[in-house]
Amino acid sequence: MYCLPSEPLTTTYRPAADRASAHGIPARVVDGNDVETVRDAVALLAGRARAGEGPGLLECETYRHYGHSRADPAAYRPDGELEHWLKHDPLDLARGRLHDLGVAPDLVMAADERAARTVADAVDAAKAAPGPDPATALTDVWADGGAAWRT
């Protein structure tokens, strides 16, 4: 079930959060497209954990804009669903909030450029890095080829 941005983020089924209470773990469900909301929820749960109050579970509701793979055209989506969610893009929401706070557009553009440069540098570094050692391909991989672990 998808919850459109114009609606409150409420569903009857919470794949992760519904399971937390069975383990005595507090759970929060937030709009995963709102970076400030996610930051605040992470800070709250991290603060609890650091204070020795135990773990917490954070379920961030968001939307996958593309198919499951390059071969998936995502033709199963209802008309207008993707367009509606693209209006709730996390970066656009953050830029809008910065605009509303009076942050100069050139500062926002400079931040975008720094982020793009950081990503491009990381991609270049990854492509230039040596490949993995084939001798370690099966290190820390477990598979016995059977069902013995199920019994």
- The DSSP result for 85-131, as a single string, is HHTT-HHHHHHHHHHHTT--HHHHHHHHHHHHHHHHHHHHHHHHSPP
pLDDT string in tens for the chain (151-residue length): 334 444 455 556 788 888 998 999 999 999 999 999 999 999 999 999 999 999 999 999 898 888 889 899 889 999 999 998 998 999 999 999 999 999 999 999 999 999 999 999 999 999 999 998 999 988 888 766 665 555 5
Residue 17 contacts by C-beta under 8 Å, 6 or more apart in sequence?
27, 28, 29, 57, 59
92's tokens: 């656009």
Residue 149's pLDDT is 55
Residue 1 contacts by C-beta under 8 Å, 6 or more apart in sequence?
11, 12, 13
Residue 3's pLDDT is 43
Per DSSP, the three-state class of 147 is coil
On whether the CB atoms of residues 35 and 93 are closer than 8 A, the answer is yes
* Unique residue bearing structure tokens 């941005």: 5
Residue 146's pLDDT is 61
Q: Between β-strands 57-61 and 27-31, what pairing exists: parallel, antiparallel or unpaired?
A: parallel
Residue 15's pLDDT is 80
Residue 10's pLDDT is 52
User: Could you tell me the CA-to-CA distances from 42 to 36, 48, 86, 89 in Å, in that order?
Assistant: 10, 10, 24, 20
On whether the CB atoms of residues 61 and 9 are closer than 8 A, the answer is yes
